Structure 1
Amino acid sequence: MTKLKDTYPLYLANEAWSGNADLEVTNKFTGEVAFRVALARTEQIEAGIAAAVEAAERMARMASYERQDVLMHCVARFKERFDELAYALCVEAGKPIKDSEGEVGRLIDTFRIAAEESVRMTGEVQPLDISPRAKGYQGIWKRVPIGPCSFISPFNFPLNLAAHKIAPAIAVGCPFVMKPASRTPLGAIIMGEVLAETNLPKGAFSILPAARDGADLFTEDERLKLLSFTGSPGVGWDLKAKAGKKKVVLELGGNAAVVIDRDADLDDAVERTVFGAFYQSGQSCIGVQRIIVHDEVYEAFRDKLVAKTKTLIAGNPHDRDTFVGPMIDAKEAQRLDNWIQEAVAGGAKLLCGGKREGAMLEATLLEEVSSDTKLNREEAFGPVAFFERFRTWDEALAIVNDSKFGLQAGIFTRDIFKVLDAWDDLDVGGVVVNDVPSYRVDNMPYGGVKDSGLGREGVRFAMEDMTEIRNLVIRRGPATPPRKLGS
């Protein structure tokens, strides 16, 4: 049977550091302390940054195959430790065990994709002789590591969202310091344990759980060349304002919409929408929150979805039949419960769910939710969604765009012209056809617009952010006249 240790170290400059075990991490279902983790103070964070700066040149000079070897070692070790990683995730995040296993699979995928991309970072030969003054000139550019990076990862996908920062950094040769979420640090700590088995240069990585005020050190130090943050919009935009000259990548979530057109396969759309709305208790930045349904099929789809939602099993995340586990803590569940009550007080109809006990909130569906409620305008980040009607496709697209967020949208339609209209007109980072916005594959470009963020993740696209273009211009001067063709 898989067991967790009582205490875990942090990782400072590639090495385990157990100076304290001050961070208590709870079992999110029972609320009991599950284990303790070393907590980085100012001196450890500053030491980690200094070590990353010191390691930058050696990391940049690693051969492509050496970086690939590191990443493939991680793939192999994560496979060997699959059950341990899934169990740890189930405990620290309260994520149902089947979903936890799915996230471990994505962790492995992300490192494997990074290993593949690490040996195919290419540049370009560029003709410069576009006018007489540039005759005899030729350009060549390549990508070089941007330098020491700072990563701050969230609680909802402690493995995969950390992997989407760590794996691309190793692939391009950037040292980094990472602050995992204090409520779910163990996944990143285990990644640090595996990375410590490799021949990465000393200082190449530090995994530093820290108090929230420690984020300032990860943000403001001018020696760090890139900040990648995943979390809430309020925190993310504040960090960007403090980041100074460094490049900033933000993935900040949203209140994602799915559109069900009248020609959709309703049974299929129900199955996918249930997943999109209630997978891992709705704690996904691309979880379905707004369900926009054509007027002609509205009642039929609503009734099918409500009936399906009522069958979902909620409870202990270690039970393989559980679909809805606890939210990250009782405070967050209470917040969302208050939003539901506000919506009902404003005239919304509660169709199912709506009951809370501690951190457990039932899968909840509503309709006729007023446009001025928090549930409509903000990110719910929990197991709640609501229905809206539309009559024309343009109206549906306008409803989707009527949001300060713009991460992904899903559309169910068989009409290719409507698909193209959505791709052109929806102000989002991605459009998913005949599926929910909650769908993501780890090699695709992923990110949002408006309050949903800045930049793109997805391994190759993150690698581009973690590199800079370095140009080379060659002039064929008088001493090197062009040779005759064929000679």
Structure 2
Amino acid sequence: MKMFCAGQWQDTKETINVTNSFDQSIIDTVPKGSGEDIANAVSVLEQGARIMKAMTPYDRSLILQKAADLLLKRQDEFARTISLEVGKVLAESQVETNRSAEVIRLSGEEARRMTGEMIPLEGNAGGKNKVGFTLRVPCGVVAAITPFNFPLNLVCHKVGPAIAAGNAILIKPASDTPLSALKLTEILREAGLPPEAIACVTGPGGEIGRAICTDTRIRKISFTGSYEVGTKICEMAGMKRVTMELGSNSPVVIMDDADLEKATTAITMAGYANAGQVCISAQRILTSSAVKSDFVDLLKSKVEDLTTGNQLEDTTKIGPMVRESDAARVEEWVNEAVSQGARLVCGGQRQGAIYAPTILDETKPDMLVVKDEIFGPAIALSYFDDVNEAIAMANDTTYGLSAGIFTQDIDRAMKFARQVDSGNIHINWSSQWRADAMPYGGLKHSGTGKEGPKYAIQEMSEEKMVVMHLAD
């Protein structure tokens, strides 16, 4: 595919292969863009930002609603593309495509609801005959730097609100998975988005990311990825507005009164969906010592039923990881934990980019599989004696994106919700659950700002204060 830059579809002399990690076959090629391409794109996007700002929210909403309809019409095509470039199974890709259309539709609805507020100036000393209100205005040019694991939905979570708020949008998709974003760009253009208002530039993250961060014409950056890269972006971004959706090693607490059937079912989904390559995957499973044996036996029986293989086959439950090197890293971390005293309950084998669903028992806080983000199909079990110890263990991390607890005790549940440092808290579910309309974001090293169309529009617009000084 070509990239969309400076108002037109373009090739470059050098290209990047997009491969299927299951068999290493080449799916397609994309241009290898450069910092110069970013500069050219932004020059046109500045014009696009003026066009979008002048467009009414109603007209912007119509473009987004049409784009959502077009996306659903091509649902099977998009799902197959996602599965091929990421490695996730087709059933998960179908869900992602549906959710992506919903995000675009929600963004269109929220475009019509952008509003400021009345400020009660006469309630202040010296405020007589003063009428105050705020206006929300677009940032201008917004850059979206997106990850590989949800190459359509997480792009939509940035592009939809950016357009709804009246901005021009520059998309930098992950180099491993650029095809979904390029196809979304096709759809937005077909839906009526002006060519000056969007760019999708493919290429190496280092050079292109640096160009995005240092271009002063870009007012806002929305990034989803690792804490390390997010920190570098913030250091380079200067006075740009930033939203950072970063990593996690999400804890899920199993209390002694938990519904173990429900808990193990949820964790089997949350720990291994998309081969564990989800920022809110259940990773640290903190379990009451009182239910240890029953919980492990039940969880093992469910995890061992997960079949691995070709992500395009209906019988496959877990496909390959996006790169073989990532699977090798997971293998290394698991082997290291076992050498340090963890017990391998099941899994632990790798075949190319496929890593078997793995349970590690008796893990310790200093093991990589516990203290860092494993981002693969492996979970780490450890144990506690009371809710206070469970909360302390859940908080023993630099991350704070999502956490869950299983309990029938409302007091324990609310104590967990109030005291655990996490942007998303789930009661009687695992860490991995997200409604696309909800405010979504992390605490601590898991990021800054919120996503969800309503909340992202706030992040991608700016506030002006208007004061009317009326005559007596």
Fold-level similarity (TM above 0.5): yes
Q: How far 1:436 moved relative to its partner?
A: 1.0
Partner residue of 1:36 out of 29, 39, 55: 29
- The alignment status of 1:459 with 2:453, answered yes or no, reads yes
Partner residue of 1:122 out of 112, 115, 119: 115
CA distance in structure 1 between the aligned counterparts of 2:462 and 2:441, rounded to whole angstroms: 20
Q: Percent identity?
A: 37
Q: How far 1:185 moved relative to its partner?
A: 0.2
- Which amino acid letter does the alignment assign opposite residue 190 of structure 1? K
> What is the correspondence of 1:318-467 to structure 2 with a 5 Å cutoff?
318-467=312-461
- Which amino acid letter does the alignment assign opposite residue 388 of structure 1? S
CA distance in structure 2 between the aligned counterparts of 1:333 and 1:147, rounded to whole angstroms: 40
Partner residue of 1:209 out of 199, 202, 205: 202
Tell me the secondary structure at the aligned position of residue 431 of structure 1. strand
Q: What root-mean-square deviation, in Å, do the aligned CA atoms of Structure 1 and Structure 2 show? A: 1.1
Q: How far 1:21 moved relative to its partner?
A: 6.2
CA distance in structure 1 between the aligned counterparts of 2:289 and 2:363, rounded to whole angstroms: 16
CA distance in structure 2 between the aligned counterparts of 1:76 and 1:308, rounded to whole angstroms: 37
Misfit runs of 4+, over 4 Å: none
CA distance in structure 2 between the aligned counterparts of 1:321 and 1:288, rounded to whole angstroms: 23
Q: How far 1:368 moved relative to its partner?
A: 1.4
- Which amino acid letter does the alignment assign opposite residue 26 of structure 2? V
Is the contact between residue 232 and residue 252 of structure 1 (CA under 8 Å) also seen in structure 2?
yes
Q: How far 1:178 moved relative to its partner?
A: 1.1
Partner residue of 2:282 out of 282, 285, 288: 288
Partner residue of 1:97 out of 90, 93, 100: 90
Deviations 1:257-279 (A, max 9, x none): 11111222111111111000001
Is the contact between residue 258 and residue 437 of structure 1 (CA under 8 Å) also seen in structure 2?
yes
Partner residue of 1:198 out of 188, 191, 194: 191
TM-score normalised by structure 1 residue count: 0.95
Deviations 1:287-309 (A, max 9, x none): 01111111211211111001110
Tell me the secondary structure at the aligned position of residue 387 of structure 1. strand
- The alignment status of 1:176 with 2:169, answered yes or no, reads yes
Q: How far 1:370 moved relative to its partner?
A: 2.4
Structure 1 stretches lacking a partner, 5+ long? 1-7, 482-487
Tell me the secondary structure at the aligned position of residue 36 of structure 1. strand
Match of 1:299 in 2: 293
Tell me the secondary structure at the aligned position of residue 191 of structure 1. helix
CA distance in structure 2 between the aligned counterparts of 1:19 and 1:341, rounded to whole angstroms: 43
Is the contact between residue 293 and residue 387 of structure 1 (CA under 8 Å) also seen in structure 2?
yes
- The alignment status of 1:151 with 2:141, answered yes or no, reads no
Tell me the secondary structure at the aligned position of residue 131 of structure 2. strand
CA distance in structure 2 between the aligned counterparts of 1:108 and 1:200, rounded to whole angstroms: 16
Structure 2 stretches lacking a partner, 5+ long? none
Match of 1:16 in 2: 9
Partner residue of 1:233 out of 227, 230, 243: 227
Match of 1:85 in 2: 78
Match of 1:484 in 2: none
Tell me the secondary structure at the aligned position of residue 115 of structure 2. coil
- The alignment status of 1:69 with 2:75, answered yes or no, reads no
Q: CA separation of 1:132/1:214 partners in 2, compared to 1, >3 Å: closer, same or farther? A: closer
CA distance in structure 1 between the aligned counterparts of 2:35 and 2:428, rounded to whole angstroms: 48
Match of 1:485 in 2: none
Tell me the secondary structure at the aligned position of residue 215 of structure 1. helix
TM-score normalised by structure 2 residue count: 0.98
Match of 2:19 in 1: 26
Q: How far 1:13 moved relative to its partner?
A: 3.5
- The alignment status of 1:48 with 2:28, answered yes or no, reads no
- The alignment status of 1:312 with 2:330, answered yes or no, reads no
Match of 2:241 in 1: 247
Q: Please say which of residues 389-398 and 183-192 is displaced more in the overlay.
A: 389-398
CA distance in structure 1 between the aligned counterparts of 2:374 and 2:227, rounded to whole angstroms: 13
Q: CA separation of 1:131/1:252 partners in 2, compared to 1, >3 Å: closer, same or farther? A: closer
* Bigger radius of gyration: 1
Q: How far 1:219 moved relative to its partner?
A: 1.2
Is the contact between residue 148 and residue 176 of structure 1 (CA under 8 Å) also seen in structure 2?
yes
Is the contact between residue 326 and residue 359 of structure 1 (CA under 8 Å) also seen in structure 2?
yes
CA distance in structure 1 between the aligned counterparts of 2:48 and 2:87, rounded to whole angstroms: 36
Is the contact between residue 439 and residue 451 of structure 2 (CA under 8 Å) also seen in structure 1?
yes
Is the contact between residue 21 and residue 36 of structure 1 (CA under 8 Å) also seen in structure 2?
no
CA distance in structure 2 between the aligned counterparts of 1:18 and 1:131, rounded to whole angstroms: 60
CA distance in structure 2 between the aligned counterparts of 1:311 and 1:127, rounded to whole angstroms: 61
CA distance in structure 2 between the aligned counterparts of 1:74 and 1:263, rounded to whole angstroms: 47
